[in-house]
Structure 1
Amino acid sequence: MNITRKADLVTVEGPEDYFTGKATITGQFKRDEPSRLTGAIVHFEPGARTAWHTHPMGQTLIVTEGVGWTQIDGGGKYEFFAGDQLWCPADKKHWHGATPHAGMTHIALQETLDGRNVTWMEKVTDEEYLAPVMKD
Protein backbone atom coordinates (compact mmCIF):
# COMPACT_ATOMS: atom_id res chain seq x y z
CA MET A 1 0.00 0.00 0.00
CA ASN A 2 1.27 3.47 -0.83
CA ILE A 3 -0.26 6.39 1.07
CA THR A 4 0.38 9.98 0.02
CA ARG A 5 -0.47 12.26 2.91
CA LYS A 6 -2.46 15.44 2.31
CA ALA A 7 0.45 17.50 3.67
CA ASP A 8 2.68 16.01 0.95
CA LEU A 9 0.40 16.82 -2.00
CA VAL A 10 1.88 19.36 -4.39
CA THR A 11 -0.32 22.18 -5.76
CA VAL A 12 0.57 23.94 -9.01
CA GLU A 13 -1.08 26.68 -11.03
CA GLY A 14 -3.08 25.50 -14.03
CA PRO A 15 -0.93 26.35 -17.07
CA GLU A 16 -2.08 29.50 -18.89
CA ASP A 17 -2.02 27.64 -22.21
CA TYR A 18 -4.71 25.23 -20.95
CA PHE A 19 -6.79 27.36 -18.54
CA THR A 20 -8.54 30.72 -18.56
CA GLY A 21 -8.62 32.35 -15.13
CA LYS A 22 -7.12 30.92 -11.96
CA ALA A 23 -7.12 27.16 -11.56
CA THR A 24 -4.93 25.02 -9.31
CA ILE A 25 -4.04 21.36 -9.67
CA THR A 26 -3.31 19.34 -6.51
CA GLY A 27 -1.99 15.82 -6.05
CA GLN A 28 -1.55 15.04 -9.74
CA PHE A 29 -0.73 11.35 -10.15
CA LYS A 30 -0.02 8.66 -12.71
CA ARG A 31 -0.13 5.01 -11.66
CA ASP A 32 2.48 2.46 -12.74
CA GLU A 33 1.64 -0.07 -15.45
CA PRO A 34 -0.35 -2.15 -15.89
CA SER A 35 -2.68 0.56 -14.56
CA ARG A 36 -3.45 3.42 -16.94
CA LEU A 37 -5.13 5.61 -14.30
CA THR A 38 -4.14 9.27 -13.88
CA GLY A 39 -5.84 12.00 -11.92
CA ALA A 40 -5.77 15.12 -9.80
CA ILE A 41 -7.88 17.50 -7.75
CA VAL A 42 -8.57 20.66 -9.74
CA HIS A 43 -9.93 23.85 -8.20
CA PHE A 44 -11.36 26.64 -10.36
CA GLU A 45 -11.85 30.17 -9.04
CA PRO A 46 -15.04 31.89 -10.27
CA GLY A 47 -14.80 32.44 -14.03
CA ALA A 48 -11.97 29.92 -14.54
CA ARG A 49 -12.26 27.12 -17.08
CA THR A 50 -10.24 24.66 -19.13
CA ALA A 51 -9.46 25.02 -22.80
CA TRP A 52 -11.20 22.65 -25.19
CA HIS A 53 -9.63 19.20 -24.88
CA THR A 54 -10.14 15.46 -25.38
CA HIS A 55 -9.18 12.31 -23.46
CA PRO A 56 -8.37 9.14 -25.42
CA MET A 57 -10.14 6.91 -22.87
CA GLY A 58 -12.73 9.40 -21.63
CA GLN A 59 -12.83 11.28 -18.32
CA THR A 60 -14.74 11.05 -15.05
CA LEU A 61 -15.19 14.17 -12.92
CA ILE A 62 -16.36 13.90 -9.30
CA VAL A 63 -17.47 17.34 -8.14
CA THR A 64 -16.58 18.00 -4.51
CA GLU A 65 -17.38 21.70 -4.13
CA GLY A 66 -19.21 24.51 -5.86
CA VAL A 67 -21.02 24.95 -9.15
CA GLY A 68 -19.64 24.46 -12.65
CA TRP A 69 -20.42 24.35 -16.33
CA THR A 70 -19.43 21.84 -19.00
CA GLN A 71 -20.01 21.40 -22.70
CA ILE A 72 -19.20 18.85 -25.40
CA ASP A 73 -18.43 20.48 -28.76
CA GLY A 74 -21.60 20.85 -30.78
CA GLY A 75 -23.83 20.30 -27.75
CA GLY A 76 -25.42 22.45 -25.09
CA LYS A 77 -23.74 23.82 -21.99
CA TYR A 78 -24.83 22.17 -18.72
CA GLU A 79 -24.59 23.19 -15.08
CA PHE A 80 -23.45 20.77 -12.38
CA PHE A 81 -23.09 20.85 -8.59
CA ALA A 82 -21.11 19.42 -5.67
CA GLY A 83 -21.90 15.71 -5.39
CA ASP A 84 -22.48 15.26 -9.15
CA GLN A 85 -20.40 12.90 -11.28
CA LEU A 86 -19.71 13.66 -14.94
CA TRP A 87 -18.59 11.26 -17.66
CA CYS A 88 -17.18 12.52 -20.95
CA PRO A 89 -16.72 9.72 -23.52
CA ALA A 90 -13.43 9.01 -25.27
CA ASP A 91 -12.19 11.58 -27.77
CA LYS A 92 -15.13 13.97 -27.26
CA LYS A 93 -13.96 17.59 -27.45
CA HIS A 94 -15.16 19.34 -24.28
CA TRP A 95 -14.44 21.90 -21.57
CA HIS A 96 -15.40 22.40 -17.93
CA GLY A 97 -14.94 25.01 -15.24
CA ALA A 98 -16.52 27.23 -12.63
CA THR A 99 -19.40 29.64 -13.17
CA PRO A 100 -18.68 33.39 -13.12
CA HIS A 101 -20.01 33.72 -9.56
CA ALA A 102 -18.99 30.45 -7.84
CA GLY A 103 -15.78 28.45 -7.64
CA MET A 104 -15.74 24.71 -8.27
CA THR A 105 -13.51 21.77 -7.34
CA HIS A 106 -13.50 18.33 -8.90
CA ILE A 107 -11.48 15.15 -8.86
CA ALA A 108 -10.50 14.36 -12.46
CA LEU A 109 -9.83 10.73 -13.41
CA GLN A 110 -8.74 9.55 -16.83
CA GLU A 111 -6.64 6.80 -18.38
CA THR A 112 -3.63 6.95 -20.66
CA LEU A 113 -3.48 5.40 -24.11
CA ASP A 114 -0.10 5.20 -25.82
CA GLY A 115 1.34 7.41 -23.06
CA ARG A 116 -1.23 10.21 -23.49
CA ASN A 117 -4.18 11.12 -21.24
CA VAL A 118 -5.23 14.48 -22.75
CA THR A 119 -4.96 16.49 -25.96
CA TRP A 120 -5.29 20.22 -25.40
CA MET A 121 -6.86 22.49 -28.01
CA GLU A 122 -7.92 26.13 -28.36
CA LYS A 123 -9.25 28.18 -25.47
CA VAL A 124 -12.98 28.51 -24.84
CA THR A 125 -14.12 31.95 -25.96
CA ASP A 126 -16.08 34.27 -23.67
CA GLU A 127 -19.04 33.86 -26.04
CA GLU A 128 -18.93 30.05 -25.69
CA TYR A 129 -18.41 30.27 -21.93
CA LEU A 130 -21.31 32.70 -21.40
CA ALA A 131 -23.78 30.86 -23.70
CA PRO A 132 -27.11 29.92 -22.08
CA VAL A 133 -27.24 26.85 -19.84
CA MET A 134 -29.34 23.94 -21.11
CA LYS A 135 -32.13 22.56 -18.96
CA ASP A 136 -32.07 18.84 -18.12
Structure 2
Amino acid sequence: MKVFPGRAESGKSEQRSATFTGTVWGDPVMPPTDGVTINTVFFAPDSRTHWHTHEQGQVLHVTAGKGWVCLEGEAPRLIRQGDIVWIAAGERHWHGADIDSYLVHIAISLGKADWQEAVENPGYPD
Protein backbone atom coordinates (compact mmCIF):
# COMPACT_ATOMS: atom_id res chain seq x y z
CA MET A 1 0.00 0.00 0.00
CA LYS A 2 1.10 3.55 -0.72
CA VAL A 3 -0.26 6.66 0.96
CA PHE A 4 -0.03 9.95 -0.90
CA PRO A 5 -0.39 13.36 0.76
CA GLY A 6 -3.62 15.25 0.09
CA ARG A 7 -1.89 17.76 -2.17
CA ALA A 8 -0.14 17.82 -5.51
CA GLU A 9 3.08 15.82 -5.38
CA SER A 10 5.05 18.68 -6.94
CA GLY A 11 3.52 21.27 -4.65
CA LYS A 12 2.58 23.50 -7.58
CA SER A 13 0.44 23.52 -10.69
CA GLU A 14 1.94 23.14 -14.13
CA GLN A 15 0.53 24.87 -17.19
CA ARG A 16 -0.04 22.44 -20.04
CA SER A 17 0.27 23.45 -23.67
CA ALA A 18 1.66 20.84 -26.08
CA THR A 19 -1.46 18.66 -26.04
CA PHE A 20 -4.09 21.26 -25.13
CA THR A 21 -5.79 24.27 -26.72
CA GLY A 22 -6.25 27.30 -24.46
CA THR A 23 -5.17 27.67 -20.84
CA VAL A 24 -4.99 24.39 -18.92
CA TRP A 25 -3.34 23.66 -15.57
CA GLY A 26 -2.56 20.23 -14.16
CA ASP A 27 -1.69 18.98 -10.70
CA PRO A 28 -0.43 15.43 -10.32
CA VAL A 29 -2.33 13.72 -7.52
CA MET A 30 0.39 11.08 -7.27
CA PRO A 31 3.39 10.09 -9.36
CA PRO A 32 2.61 7.66 -12.21
CA THR A 33 2.38 4.21 -10.64
CA ASP A 34 1.96 0.84 -12.38
CA GLY A 35 0.57 2.44 -15.55
CA VAL A 36 -1.90 4.65 -13.67
CA THR A 37 -1.67 8.45 -13.87
CA ILE A 38 -3.98 10.66 -11.78
CA ASN A 39 -4.16 14.41 -12.32
CA THR A 40 -6.47 17.21 -11.27
CA VAL A 41 -6.91 19.33 -14.39
CA PHE A 42 -8.25 22.92 -14.60
CA PHE A 43 -9.51 24.14 -17.99
CA ALA A 44 -10.15 27.86 -18.51
CA PRO A 45 -13.29 28.62 -20.57
CA ASP A 46 -13.10 27.21 -24.12
CA SER A 47 -9.93 25.19 -23.38
CA ARG A 48 -9.69 21.53 -24.27
CA THR A 49 -7.42 18.57 -24.89
CA HIS A 50 -6.25 17.53 -28.31
CA TRP A 51 -7.67 14.32 -29.74
CA HIS A 52 -6.19 11.33 -27.94
CA THR A 53 -6.65 7.72 -26.87
CA HIS A 54 -5.66 5.75 -23.77
CA GLU A 55 -4.10 2.33 -23.88
CA GLN A 56 -6.41 0.91 -21.18
CA GLY A 57 -9.03 3.64 -20.77
CA GLN A 58 -9.68 6.76 -18.71
CA VAL A 59 -12.02 7.89 -15.95
CA LEU A 60 -12.97 11.57 -15.60
CA HIS A 61 -14.60 12.81 -12.39
CA VAL A 62 -15.90 16.36 -12.79
CA THR A 63 -15.39 18.28 -9.54
CA ALA A 64 -16.38 21.82 -10.65
CA GLY A 65 -17.74 23.79 -13.59
CA LYS A 66 -19.07 22.38 -16.83
CA GLY A 67 -17.62 21.21 -20.08
CA TRP A 68 -17.74 18.68 -22.87
CA VAL A 69 -16.46 15.23 -23.71
CA CYS A 70 -16.56 13.93 -27.26
CA LEU A 71 -15.89 10.54 -28.85
CA GLU A 72 -14.84 10.58 -32.48
CA GLY A 73 -17.87 10.43 -34.77
CA GLU A 74 -20.30 11.55 -32.06
CA ALA A 75 -21.65 14.91 -30.91
CA PRO A 76 -20.01 16.41 -27.80
CA ARG A 77 -21.78 15.55 -24.53
CA LEU A 78 -22.21 18.05 -21.70
CA ILE A 79 -20.51 17.16 -18.40
CA ARG A 80 -21.03 18.91 -15.07
CA GLN A 81 -19.93 18.78 -11.45
CA GLY A 82 -20.49 15.30 -10.05
CA ASP A 83 -20.45 13.49 -13.41
CA ILE A 84 -18.17 10.50 -13.89
CA VAL A 85 -17.18 9.53 -17.42
CA TRP A 86 -15.64 6.23 -18.56
CA ILE A 87 -13.73 6.28 -21.85
CA ALA A 88 -12.82 2.79 -23.01
CA ALA A 89 -9.40 1.69 -24.20
CA GLY A 90 -8.53 3.01 -27.64
CA GLU A 91 -11.54 5.36 -27.96
CA ARG A 92 -10.41 8.55 -29.72
CA HIS A 93 -11.78 11.52 -27.78
CA TRP A 94 -11.27 15.00 -26.37
CA HIS A 95 -12.61 16.85 -23.30
CA GLY A 96 -12.57 20.39 -21.97
CA ALA A 97 -14.43 23.43 -20.69
CA ASP A 98 -17.58 25.02 -22.08
CA ILE A 99 -17.14 28.37 -23.84
CA ASP A 100 -18.59 30.25 -20.84
CA SER A 101 -17.40 28.12 -17.91
CA TYR A 102 -14.24 26.67 -16.44
CA LEU A 103 -13.99 22.90 -15.87
CA VAL A 104 -12.10 20.98 -13.21
CA HIS A 105 -11.86 17.21 -13.34
CA ILE A 106 -9.79 14.43 -11.87
CA ALA A 107 -8.42 12.33 -14.73
CA ILE A 108 -7.45 8.74 -14.00
CA SER A 109 -5.57 7.49 -17.05
CA LEU A 110 -4.76 3.81 -17.49
CA GLY A 111 -1.75 2.91 -19.60
CA LYS A 112 -0.06 5.19 -22.11
CA ALA A 113 -1.84 8.08 -23.84
CA ASP A 114 -1.50 8.60 -27.59
CA TRP A 115 -1.76 12.36 -28.15
CA GLN A 116 -2.86 13.50 -31.60
CA GLU A 117 -3.87 16.70 -33.40
CA ALA A 118 -5.75 19.70 -32.02
CA VAL A 119 -9.55 19.79 -32.18
CA GLU A 120 -10.21 22.36 -34.89
CA ASN A 121 -13.98 22.80 -34.42
CA PRO A 122 -15.44 21.37 -31.21
CA GLY A 123 -18.99 21.46 -32.61
CA TYR A 124 -20.76 22.30 -29.36
CA PRO A 125 -24.52 21.62 -29.64
CA ASP A 126 -26.80 24.69 -29.47
TM-score, reference length from structure 2:
0.89
Task: Please state whether the residue corresponding to 2:125 is helix, strand or coil.
Answer: coil
Q: Which runs of 5+ in 1 are unaligned?
A: none
- Answer 1 or 2: which has greater strand percent: 2
Q: What's the CA shift for 1:93?
A: 0.5
The amino acid that maps onto 2:12 is: V
Q: CA deviation at 1:37?
A: 1.7
Share of identical aligned residues, percent?
32
Q: How far apart are the structure 2 equivalents of 1:36 and 1:119?
A: 14
Give the match for residue 49 of structure 2.
50
TM-score by length of 1: 0.83
1:50-102 deviation digits (Å, cap 9, x = unpaired): 00000010100000000011110011110010000001110011000000100
How many residues end up aligned between the 2 structures?
123
3-state SS of the aligned residue for 1:54? Answer: strand
CA contact (8 A) 1:10 1:27 kept: no
Whole-angstrom distance in 1 between the partners of 2:90 and 2:5: 31
- Moved >6 Å (runs of 4+): none
C-alpha distance in 1, partners of 2:4/2:118?
35
Q: Which residue of 2 aligns with 1:67?
A: 66
Gaps of 5+ in 2: none
How far apart are the structure 2 equivalents of 1:130 and 1:107?
Answer: 24
In the other structure, the counterpart of 2:80 is 81
Q: Which has the higher helix share?
A: 1
**Change in 2 beyond 3 A, CA 1:101/1:38:** same
